[in-house]
Structures are given as C-alpha cells and as structure tokens.
C-alpha cells in the first residue's frame, strides 16, 4: 500500500494499515513528518513548532494514535483554563465535583470577567444545547444552515458574552469568525468539550516539540516491512479509466501498489490527478468550494522570566493564547537566549486582519497586548521574535461546508482519501485528521474483505447530560 503525505492523516492511516498486517510505504514531500502539526529547527538552532498545537480531552482518536505510537506520555493535560482581561485581571474555569453538565457551574458563577446579565444569557444558551443532547433543532432556516453568530443572536446573547465567552472558545477551536462558522460546528464544540462529559474540556499540550511525537511511527510501519520516505514528493497519479494504476514521483520514478491513500491537503489533491478526472468527478471538482482560514503564530524570546502560568487566554486582545514554552518543555531552551530567559508562543486564529501586516507590526501589536497582562514584559528585553503566518491553516467550517467534504473511499478504484478536510464530522483539527486516517484504513480493509475497526467512539455522555443525550 502507498500512503502519500506524512501529516497526521497519512501517519494514522499508515500505522493502522501496518497494524492490520499490511506493508505500507509512506511518501512525504518534506524533510520531516507531521505536516501542519510539525516542528523544525530554526537557523539559530531553536527547535520550534510550526505553531503551538493543543488537544482536548474529547479528542479520543488523537489520544488513541499517540498511544499506538508511544507518545501519549509527551502530552500533559491541564484542568484549569486561565483567562486574562486587558486590565490584567484573571479568571479561571475548571471542573468541580458535580455531574455533567453542571461541573463547571461554580467556576462560571464566580468568573470575574463576565457580568450577571452575560452569565444568565450564556447559561440559558448552554442549557438549550445540553437539553437537546448537543442537537438543537434551530440550527437551520429555509435558506439552509445558519451561522453561529445568528444562533447566538437568536438566543439573545449580550455583546460581552459573545466577545468574552463564545468567540474566545470558538475562534480558537474552529479557526474561524462567528459569522462564518456553521452553527452545527460551534454547538458541537460546546457539547463535546464542555457539557456532555466532565473531562472533555481538559487542554492537552505537548511537553516536547511536535516532531518528537511521531518518532514511533517509523517503527510501527517498519515492523510490517513498510517504510517512511522523506523528501519523496509525488508528482501525480496514473489513472486508466476508473482505476488508479500507479504514482509518478518527483524524482521521475513510478511506483505501483494494491491501494493508494492520498493524505495531502485538499488544494493539492486535484493537482495530482489528471485534469479530465477532476473535471468529470464532482468529488474532486467540489474541493475548490472549501475555503481556508489563517492562523498566525508569534514566537518571542525574552531575556528574563516574564510569565508564571503555563498558558493564558487573552480577552479583548489581538493575541488570543500565550503559551509559556519554557515552562511547558521544562527544559532549558538555548539558542542565543540567556539561561534565565523565557520563550513564549502566541497564537492568533482566524487572523485575517494580520495577513497583510508586516512581521514587525504584528510583534509590536502582540507586545502591547502582553504588557497589559504580563507587566514584567515592560522591563524585559525582547531578544528575538519570529512570526509564522499560515494563510491556509485549516478549512473554514462555513455553513454548508460539509457537503463538499468527500468520504474516504474515492470514486476511483484503488484510491482512498485521508485528511482533516475529508468527511469526519469533525472540524479541521488533529483529531479530525486522525479520524480520517483511521476511516481510510477501515475503508481499505473493508474493500479487501477483512474489515477491522480503528475509529474510537466519543467520550460517553455522563450525569444529566447522559439522560439528555439519550432522549435527543
């Protein structure tokens, strides 16, 4: 079997197929594995993630994948979410020993960065989601799916509740603005992460560079006689009639296999297929309807310790999340920075307004945000700063976008699709990518007449949420 693409979708399908006893050859264009969730070494010697990646307790398939490849112990879970307002005040959200969906109610009630009118509105909307088992009936109108913002307005949310609660969580979870998110996706985040279970919201952060999480993949694939080839780009598929008969590599060689998994981004796949195949198959042609949204990562190295918390969510700021990489790695990160220095990584999702800005402008904007919530920065020296703009970071979960997401079994015999953009029911995330990889492996094994399950179920609903999930 040949898997093209060494991101999480390609890796998870390759590992699953190898575990099912198949010889897999994985071809990755770049010199490292991980795709968008990768890390690399900067010219100055620092090993940095492409961008900080976090998982949540409800991401059951990503967790399963990390276990299979032996990297689950490199993910540390945090139960406490800390928010900071521009005036420096902090507020925390965490679970109390109460049944779902009431487990966060005490910290929500005492959360100092929202007023009572905001909280009442939020509680009403959350209850509507919980009582419907995560499936409210008012997610569409005669024109089709509605946006998350439209749903929130319908449920009479205050401006501050939208800005300081719904937007903060959903823009980072879905990498899109509320007026461009299909309400179905937004509701799903709250049901799976905050309402149906007590642990779904827990934030998992790697305590090592992302690249180290994939070390076990080569071994898992190699055990069944397969191999992982880096710097091995594929130029295109050879198609005869309705059948994929081979692939042409960028080095000019041609390879054949019984099955092919295309685990490349959605804008790359059509370019690998003959033009007439793309024109005749709506599955491939429709991929151009999936829009993408940007994420900007800002890496800052200071000459001293400026932050004590492991990570912070900023309210009413351009900067959305700040990760204290020095503390998260708990190792001394060098690279020209004094030993007592600190490395912070900032993340801004749906960063449309930053795309045209210069790197220095972005750093200046972020420093201004940070000075409000981390006053020690005013005295500190910024030793170095880097900005990574990913203009097509994820596909946009726009209303109706699901109709353009193809199943893992393609219309061409022998070709299966994996990628966060294929149909998984999940947004563009590491969890979505692993789900797609497992589903592609399952589809191949079914085609072979030897079906096997890899997809893990969602966390089961608990407490009161369990009753409501059953009724819905």
What residues make contact with ligand FAD under the rule CB under 6 A? Answer: 4-10, 27-30, 35-37, 51, 53-55, 233-234, 263-265, 268, 295, 297, 390, 393-394, 419-420, 428-433
Nearer to ligand FAD, 250 or 340 (CB): 250
Nearer to ligand FAD, 72 or 105 (CB): 72
Nearer to ligand FAD, 31 or 241 (CB): 31
CB of 247 to ligand FAD, least distance (A): 9
CB of 57 to ligand FAD, least distance (A): 13
Nearer to ligand FAD, 10 or 200 (CB): 10
CA 395 – CA 428 distance, rounded (Å) = 6
CB of 234 to ligand FAD, least distance (A): 4
Nearer to ligand FAD, 5 or 310 (CB): 5
Nearer to ligand FAD, 341 or 432 (CB): 432
CB of 35 to ligand FAD, least distance (A): 2
CA 425 – CA 189 distance, rounded (Å) = 11
CB of 32 to ligand FAD, least distance (A): 8
CB of 410 to ligand FAD, least distance (A): 15
Nearer to ligand FAD, 173 or 465 (CB): 173
CB of 5 to ligand FAD, least distance (A): 3
């Amino acid at each position: 079997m040949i898997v093209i693409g060494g991101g999480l979708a390609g890796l998870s399908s390759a590992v699953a197929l190898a575990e099912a006893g198949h010889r897999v050859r994985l071809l990755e264009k770049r010199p490292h594995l991980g795709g968008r969730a990768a890390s690399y070494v900067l010219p100055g010697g620092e090993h940095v993630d492409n961008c900080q990646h976090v998982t949540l307790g409800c991401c059951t398939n990503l967790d399963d994948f990390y276990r299979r490849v032996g990297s689950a112990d490199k993910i540390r879970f945090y139960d406490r979410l800390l928010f900071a307002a521009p005036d420096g005040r902090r507020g925390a959200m965490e679970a109390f020993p109460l049944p779902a969906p009431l487990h966060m109610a005490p910290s929500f009630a005492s959360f100092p960065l929202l007023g009572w009118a905001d909280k009442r509105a939020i509680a009403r909307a959350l209850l509507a989601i919980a009582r419907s088992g995560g499936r409210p009936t008012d997610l569409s109108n005669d024109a089709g799916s509605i946006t998350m913002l439209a749903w929130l307005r319908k449920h009479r949310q205050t401006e501050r509740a939208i800005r300081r609660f719904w937007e903060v969580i959903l823009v980072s979870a879905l990498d899109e603005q509320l007026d461009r998110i299909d309400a179905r996706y937004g509701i799903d985040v709250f049901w799976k992460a905050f309402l149906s279970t007590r642990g779904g919201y827990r934030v998992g952060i790697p305590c090592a560079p992302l690249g180290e999480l994939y070390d076990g993949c080569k071994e898992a694939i190699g055990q069944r006689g397969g191999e992982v080839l880096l710097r091995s780009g594929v130029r295109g598929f050879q198609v005869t009639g309705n059948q994929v008969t081979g692939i042409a590599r960028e080095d000019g060689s041609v390879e054949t296999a019984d099955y092919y998994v295309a685990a490349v981004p959605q804008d790359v796949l059509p370019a690998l297929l003959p033009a007439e195949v793309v024109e005749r198959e709506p599955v491939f042609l429709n991929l151009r309807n999936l829009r993408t949204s940007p994420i900007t990562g800002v890496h800052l190295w200071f000459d001293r310790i400026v932050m004590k918390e492991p990570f912070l969510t900023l309210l009413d700021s351009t900067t959305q999340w700040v990760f204290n990489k020095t503390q998260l790695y708990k190792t001394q990160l060098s690279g020209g920075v004094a030993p007592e220095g600190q490395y912070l990584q900032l993340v801004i999702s749906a960063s449309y307004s930053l795309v045209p800005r210069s790197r220095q402008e972005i750093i200046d904007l972020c420093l201004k945000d940070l000075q409000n919530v981390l006053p020690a920065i005013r005295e500190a020296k910024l030793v170095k700063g880097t900005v990574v703009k990913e203009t097509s970071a994820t596909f946009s979960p726009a209303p109706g976008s699901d109709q353009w997401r193809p199943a893992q079994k393609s219309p061409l015999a022998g070709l299966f699709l994996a990628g966060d953009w294929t149909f998984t029911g999940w947004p563009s995330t590491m969890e979505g990518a692993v789900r797609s990889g497992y589903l592609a492996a399952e589809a191949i094994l079914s085609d072979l007449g030897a079906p096997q399950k890899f997809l893990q179920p969602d966390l089961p609903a608990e407490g009161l949420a369990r009753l409501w999930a059953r009724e819905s």
